[in-house]
Amino acid sequence: MPLVTPKDMFARAYLERYAVGAFNVNNMEIIQGIMEAGAEEKAPIILQVSAGARKYAGQTYIVKLIEAALQESDLPVVLHLDHGPDFDLCKACIDGGFTSVMIDGSHLPYGENIALTRQVVEYARPRGVWVEAELGRIQGVEEDVAAEVSIYTDPDQAVDFVRRTGCDSLAIAIGTSHGAYKFKGDAKLDFPRLETITNKLPGFPLVLHGASSVPQEFVDMANAYGGKVGGARGVPEDLLRKAAGYGVCKINIDTDIRLALTASIRKFFVEHPEEFDPRSYLRPARAAVKEMVRRKIRDVLGCSGKA
């Protein structure tokens, strides 16, 4: 099945009150694990590539790996650029076959964010490519994206931003955080703010970034086998499921994939110190990614059987 845009999958997600998982990919094993999970759960999938992943693996390699995965799948799959920092990178991804791009101007003054987002929309729309934008600022660190404090999305400003930019979906800040160390105290999301934004933008798909839940079994496994991932805490899965009941149609998941992969590899090397064949330790790592993604699809996103 060829790549699709998020348009139809988000329309159904909004109507039926679930979210589609946007899973960050960096290599073959991660792509395979996600696609196998999607196939078993019969779920729509968004494979997203950060600027850092693109730099690490190369755009052509990642696109070709995803094209290979699609030859063995009948799932609806979106290829999405995560946190595009500028117009040039968004253009390169659009020209390179991506069906969706995010332009992240959230660090810019409001007027500059509007102008940059509008520039990307005007290039993407004639080419049939979806554009996600961001308004507000999400605390934490994810590769080259960093913010020391959160700036929650203003509902009235969100309406103005969508109207003036023409973006297709909007990432909002309501209390999530990038990275593995999201909360020091109790995790809280601003659901009244989310409800207000949903009501002011009826039918419009919203996005949650920084939404990994940092499963403690992977944190504990990594630490038990030599890791030092102390104090890692994510967004509780019940809060993410609740958010999907509003206008949130896309939930980003990256840290959880990294934890599942790395914890599995650490465990393997401690238990099999004589091994050095990459296939030996990447096979269980791929399986760990698959099972983690399956659980997200089924229990958190609610999109099993929605392909």
Catalytically annotated residues: 82
- Concatenating the DSSP letter of every residue in 51-80 gives HHHHHHH-HHHHHHHHHHHHTT--S-EEEE
- Would you say how long the chain is, in residues? 307
Query: Which residue matches tokens 């994939």?
Result: 257
CA–CA dist 89, 277 (Å, integer): 36
- Concatenating the DSSP letter of every residue in 107-166 gives TS-HHHHHHHHHHHHHHHGGGT-EEEEEESB-EEEETTEEESS-BPPPHHHHHHHHHHH-
Burial class (CB in 10 A: 0-12, 13-18, 19+), 183: middle
CA–CA dist 247, 244 (Å, integer): 7
Strands of the chain (E only): list them.
20-24, 45-50, 77-84, 100-103, 130-135, 139-142, 145-147, 169-172, 177-178, 206-208, 248-253
Is the separation of the CB atoms in 5 and 128 below 8 Å?
yes
Is the separation of the CB atoms in 253 and 269 below 8 Å?
no
DSSP 246: T
